[in-house]
Amino acid sequence: MGRDKIEKLWSLIENNYLASDKEALQDSFARHLEYTQSKTRYTTEAFDSYKSCAHVVRDRLMERWNDTNQTYFNDNVKRVYYLSLEFLLGRALSNALLNLGILPEMERALADFGLSHTDLSEIEPDAGLGNGGLGRLAACFLDSMATLQLPGEGYGIRYDYGIFEQKIVNGYQTELPENWLRYGYPFEIIRPEYQYTIHFYGNVSQYQDDQGSLRNDWLNTEKVMALAHDIPIPGYQNDTVNTVRLWSAKSTREFELAEFNIGDYVGAVEGKINSEIISSVLYPKDDIPAGKELRLKQEYFFVSATIQDIIRRHKVKNPSVLNMPDKVAIQLNDTHPALSIAELMRIFVDVEKIGWDKAWELCVPIFAYTNHTMMSEALELWPVDLLSNLLPRHLQIIYEINHRFLNNIRQIYPNEEDKHKRMSIVQELPQKAIRMANLAIIGSHKVNGVSHLHTELIKQKLFADFHDLWPEKFTSKTNGITQRRWLKLANPRLAGLISDTVGENWITDLYELEKLEPYAADASFGEAWQKVKLENKKDLALYIKKQNGIEVNPYSMFDIQIKRIHEYKRQLMNVLHILHLYRQIKNNPTTPIVPRTFIFSGKAAPGYYMAKLIIKLINDVALKINNDPETRDKIKVVFLANYCVSLAQQIFPAADLSEQISTAGMEASGTGNMKFTLNGALTIGTLDGANIEIKEEVGDDNIFIFGLDADQVRDLKTSGYNPLGYLNHSPELHDVLRMLVDGEFSAHKEDLYKPIIESLLYQGDNYMVIADYQSYCNCQQKVASLFQNQAMWTQKSIINTAHVGKFSSDRTIQEYADEVWGVKPVKPKIKQGRKSMK
């Protein structure tokens, strides 16, 4: 093709842009219905309309996406890559409409066809490629990076099956596969041009090269292809559209010759398909490593494809990998992608033939590692046997990293054998295994915790030896959430009231909400605020009626605990308080009580016996209390099935009280706590994770804090905690537990809850439920009496929202960009003739 002819094509494309007025949107919508989807007036269903609408939006994202990518490429900017095995993205359509700034116009366009964008949005399945907080954090970070116009890209796995769908049957959790891609996902673009070969198994062969240096080749491997699928991540009305690139496993096109030769063509193809299971399913465990070979395969598959892609992109614009630290920052979301460090070293040393010392010097400034948990049982530990079989060369490299590291620390800390053992990447006993956290710390230039308390605890406890060696490596980055999704989209009523009162700048600068403070004591503003909450509660009440068939009173206090079901999060303590209230009413039907609706939602890992038993208990308690004429008008208990991002968006806006009651020292940060505060709920919580910082921001008078703090928990544990001792001093608690033992809630199976009693009383109550119980009940009483003063409650609610500014993920990301990644904002250059949004 001649140059002028190429120009003809590209000027046609680049000098054009799609208009977004009502008529243009309608025209696009109609075209997609017919030309993309082949629909007629007789065959169009709601899903088709959703899909057409998604395509209308996608077209408009595409222009800005290409301009953004070209700008990053042309300017050869430093980029940050956020590596995460989980992205809990939720729905894309309404978010894209909002960020493109075409939500009102789309509403008008669809209204002419008798459609509504909210109805269509709700047809979209959630992209649920994560378990909970860690995956949702990654999604909020992508949103903030795009909104801050940072050249940031997410990398992950395109699981065919995201987090399972939870159904409650007879009060028990059951799991159903979540085939979210079943009808196609309009927001992804397949990129067949980006495919990489991923190697597994095989052996390492050593040889001398021409210069006489010892070299290693990884040979006789099994191969799988990684195929890129890109999802656009639009910034808020700023022309930036970043990318999250998800890898899916595909078989290679080579045949196993043995099978092929004996004529078993179908058998050979079947063998290929087997390799594609690598990207088939997300492991549904939150905070507990799976330890399975398939999981390790997923981790390496993801890491290898990503590192190859990063190096390919780097080399297009740079003469060699030697300046990579100037152009590339890689953030490891937990240790799941920590094999990246070994993979990058392997490529530098074996493929690029760079000397070890130089390679290491390039590697460390590129990586940074985020730790997400204090619980040592949650740290990844890969048996050496597994690694030596699956990734023999990487194991050698990890040994080499460790060998050099240990040599260093033996010089710094001579005669401290125990310290060397603790800091080694290799655990020797009870079985030889690789400590992924140690690898991540040694291979990174920064290590961060996700709240002040968590960072202090990892510095002083979990990673104390490393902090001693490299104090400057450790940094604190308190988590955040995106206000675009968690207020603007989730709670349009409150967002509207806020914008009418203090303007719209809060959408990109959450500290602007401080301007609400003067209105906290304003009676008419308070009434408007209260009205919004009531309307939101009525909406949720309708949903509860529809889903659970339970009638709830929207004027009752909505007391909500929604998060993964985990013993350390202590849903059980919440239940014990409900039983306490139930007993109170039963024993004394005339005592006045503040009506409450207790709402729970959350998934348990399918193999987590205690967590599943707690779900059953909540549902049994609900059944009994909701049907007891003496109690049902005073307290109601609701378990909403299938907690996910889109359900969360419906629940947070309706909350009066946020339950953040983890055992102090165990919740690294929490982000649900921030979503509640943003939406004007008051918190009852322990001094744990980011609760402490929420307390600092909103003030002691506007939050309910109870229970032991992290130091007291530790002291009590070391001095010998005896839950039975508490029981002897509390006849009330004794009676509450008695109800469980007596089978009052488990009519057909008397000792159903025996394991709960055992764990609380005879197995040490590891999560200190008994120790905190009384303090929690007392605190709940204060909550109740404040709720009786609605004006005062509302005032505190407004103050909570007004002081939530710090917890925007925009603030978090700005800190990472400045202090960890060294990346700067880049404005996309909009092609001539296209209209910029700013």
Ligand X SMILES: *Cc1c(COP(=O)(O)O)cnc(C)c1O
Say whether residue 132 binds ligand X (CB under 6 A): yes
Give the nearest distance from C-beta 554 to ligand X in angstroms. 23
> Which of these is catalytic: 297, 563, 570, 577?
563
Taking the least distance from each CB to ligand X, the nearer of 402 and 671 is 671
Give the nearest distance from C-beta 221 to ligand X in angstroms. 37
Give residue 514's identity as a one-letter amino acid code.
Answer: E
In contact, 482 and 141? CB cutoff 8 Å: no
79 labelled catalytic: no
Taking the least distance from each CB to ligand X, the nearer of 148 and 648 is 648
Q: Compute the half-sphere exposure of residue 129: CA atoms within 13 Å on the CB side of its CA.
A: 26
704-743 positions binding ligand X, by CB under 6 A? none
Give the nearest distance from C-beta 675 to ligand X in angstroms. 6
Which one of 53-61, 584-592, 642-650, 771-779 is the stretch in contact with ligand X (CB under 6 A)?
A: 642-650
* Structural tokens at position 457: 């605890």
Give the nearest distance from C-beta 568 to ligand X in angstroms. 10
Strands 657-660 and 682-685: parallel
In contact, 710 and 692? CB cutoff 8 Å: no
Taking the least distance from each CB to ligand X, the nearer of 161 and 200 is 161
Which one of 13-21, 165-173, 641-649, 680-688 is the stretch in contact with ligand X (CB under 6 A)?
A: 641-649
For the CA atoms of 780, 784, 786, 789, what is the dihedral angle to 10 degrees?
A: 170
Say whether residue 450 binds ligand X (CB under 6 A): no
Say whether residue 645 binds ligand X (CB under 6 A): yes
* Structural tokens at position 321: 């990998």
Which one of 175-183, 458-466, 609-617, 638-646 is the stretch in contact with ligand X (CB under 6 A)?
A: 638-646
DSSP state of 296: H
Which one of 310-318, 465-473, 637-645, 817-825 is the stretch in contact with ligand X (CB under 6 A)?
A: 637-645
Which one of 316-324, 665-673, 717-725, 770-778 is the stretch in contact with ligand X (CB under 6 A)?
A: 665-673
421 labelled catalytic: no
What is the crossing angle of helices 133-147 and 93-100, to 10°?
20
Which residue in the shown chain puts its C-beta closest to ligand X? Answer: 672
Which one of 102-110, 131-139, 205-213, 308-316 is the stretch in contact with ligand X (CB under 6 A)?
A: 131-139
d(CA 544, CA 538): 10
| Of 158, 16, 56, 7, residue with least CA distance to 834 | 16
d(CA 697, CA 240): 31
List the one residue from 671, 702, 794, 795 that touches ligand X (CB under 6 A).
671
Say whether residue 670 binds ligand X (CB under 6 A): yes
Give the nearest distance from C-beta 88 to ligand X in angstroms. 6
Taking the least distance from each CB to ligand X, the nearer of 336 and 564 is 564
Give the nearest distance from C-beta 657 to ligand X in angstroms. 14
Instruction: Kindly report each contact of residues 15-24 with a partner whose C-beta sits within 8 Å and lies 24 or more positions away, as own/partner.
Output: 15/831, 15/832, 15/833, 15/834, 16/833, 16/834, 17/63, 17/833, 17/834, 17/835, 18/59, 18/60, 18/63, 20/60, 20/100, 20/102, 20/105, 21/105, 22/105, 22/108, 22/109, 22/112, 23/109
Give the nearest distance from C-beta 395 to ligand X in angstroms. 34
Strands 557-562 and 657-660: parallel
d(CA 389, CA 453): 39
Give the nearest distance from C-beta 132 to ligand X in angstroms. 4
18-37 positions binding ligand X, by CB under 6 A? none
Q: CA angle, corner 357, sides to 353 and 360, nearest 5?
A: 90
Say whether residue 563 binds ligand X (CB under 6 A): yes
d(CA 485, CA 306): 28
Residues touching ligand X: how many (CB under 6 A)? 14
In contact, 354 and 321? CB cutoff 8 Å: yes
Give the nearest distance from C-beta 281 to ligand X in angstroms. 18
Give the nearest distance from C-beta 782 to ligand X in angstroms. 22
Which one of 132-140, 228-236, 269-277, 537-545 is the stretch in contact with ligand X (CB under 6 A)?
A: 132-140
Element at 329 (helix H, strand E): strand 328-333
> Which of these is catalytic: 91, 569, 603, 796?
569
In contact, 569 and 668? CB cutoff 8 Å: no
> Which of these is catalytic: 78, 117, 372, 612?
372
> Which of these is catalytic: 663, 671, 794, 812?
671
d(CA 594, CA 634): 7
683 labelled catalytic: no
In contact, 602 and 565? CB cutoff 8 Å: yes
Give the nearest distance from C-beta 810 to ligand X in angstroms. 16
Say whether residue 91 binds ligand X (CB under 6 A): no
Say whether residue 136 binds ligand X (CB under 6 A): yes
From residue 468 to residue 497, the character string flagging contacts with ligand X as x (rule: CB under 6 A) and all else as - is: ------------------------------
Phi-psi region of 287 (alpha: psi -120 to 50; beta: other; left: phi over 0): left
Q: Residues 6 or more apart from 117 whose CB is under 8 A from it?
A: 53, 93, 94, 97, 103, 106, 107, 110
Taking the least distance from each CB to ligand X, the nearer of 674 and 769 is 674
d(CA 639, CA 602): 9
In contact, 512 and 506? CB cutoff 8 Å: yes
Taking the least distance from each CB to ligand X, the nearer of 331 and 669 is 669
Which one of 57-65, 293-301, 666-674, 799-807 is the stretch in contact with ligand X (CB under 6 A)?
A: 666-674
List the one residue from 342, 378, 391, 648 that touches ligand X (CB under 6 A).
648
Strands 381-383 and 433-435: antiparallel
In contact, 81 and 153? CB cutoff 8 Å: yes
Q: What is the DSSP string of 524-565?
A: HHHHHHHHHHHHHHHHHHHHHHHHH-----TTSEEEEEES--
Taking the least distance from each CB to ligand X, the nearer of 398 and 645 is 645
Give the nearest distance from C-beta 646 to ligand X in angstroms. 9
Which one of 11-19, 129-137, 713-721, 807-815 is the stretch in contact with ligand X (CB under 6 A)?
A: 129-137
Burial class (CB in 10 A: 0-12, 13-18, 19+), 291: middle
Taking only Cα atoms into account, the Rg of the chain, rounded to an integer number of angstroms, comes to: 28
564 labelled catalytic: yes
Say whether residue 644 binds ligand X (CB under 6 A): yes
Give the nearest distance from C-beta 655 to ligand X in angstroms. 12
Kindly tell me the sign of the dihedral angle through the C-alpha atoms of 389, 390, 391, 393: positive
Burial 785-813 (b: 16+ CB within 10 A, else e): ebbeeeeebbbbbbbbbbbbbbbbbbbbb
CA 493 to each of CA 432, 497, 535, 552: distance values in angstroms, whole numbers, following the listed order: 56, 6, 9, 21
d(CA 387, CA 434): 9
44 labelled catalytic: no
Taking the least distance from each CB to ligand X, the nearer of 110 and 605 is 605
829 labelled catalytic: no
List the one residue from 672, 680, 805, 828 that touches ligand X (CB under 6 A).
672
Taking the least distance from each CB to ligand X, the nearer of 575 and 736 is 575
From residue 596 to residue 635, the character string flagging contacts with ligand X as x (rule: CB under 6 A) and all else as - is: ----------------------------------------
Positions touching ligand X (CB under 6 A) are 88, 132-133, 136, 563-564, 643-645, 648, 670-672, 675
The residues annotated as belonging to the active site are 372, 563-564, 569, 671, 675
